[in-house]
Amino acid sequence: MDSGARLKAERNRLGMSQEAFGGACGVAKNAQVNYEAGKRRPDSDYLAAAARLGADVLYIVTGVSSPAGAIEQQLLERFRAATPELQRASLAVLGVAAVAQPAAPSFVGAAGDNHGQIVQGGTLQQDHVSFNVGPKKRGSRRA
């Protein structure tokens, strides 16, 4: 990948159009198109403006990504040390789509050999069900 393709990748990562990115860096859209096509090379003023926009200029010029700054490194360390719940909450706050974590199945244990029904898996909800256990009492009425 050449520097023009890397410049385009950085512009796309920042979510900017060629016209908007070029304008913010002090050039017209056609100059931006030429930079990305590899027909021209940007000057240092352009690259400094791109860096202020958040572009990784080291990556654009050399193809090697800049190392994470101190704040990014601290964020990564704390994210890795966080509980899964806090990680999901952090991703939600940042607007990052997290992979859905399947709920741990809950199991019903039963001893013995005579099982009428055993349900394993997620949540089971049954409404308006009553269970009578034990011998029928004399003189009792059903409600």
CATH number at residue 26: 1.10.260.40
pLDDT at 70: 81
Residue 86 Rama label (left phi>0; alpha psi -120 to 50; beta) = alpha
Average pLDDT for residues 84-106, to the nearest whole number? 76
Q: Are residues 25 and 39 in the same domain?
A: yes
Residue 138: band (very low, low, confident or very high) from pLDDT cuts 50, 70, 90: confident
What is residue 113's predicted lDDT score, i.e. its pLDDT? 65
72 & 58 share domain: no
What range does the domain containing 90 cover? Answer: 67-100
Of the candidates 16, 21, 18, 62, the one whose C-alpha atom is nearest the C-alpha of residue 37 is: 18
Residues 43 and 79 in one domain: no
In a domain, 58, yes or no: yes
Q: What is the pLDDT of residues 16-72, one digit of tens each?
A: 999 999 999 999 999 999 999 999 999 999 999 999 999 999 999 999 988 877 888
Give domain status of residue 53, yes or no. yes
The whole-model pTM stands at: 0.52
Domain count, the chain: 2
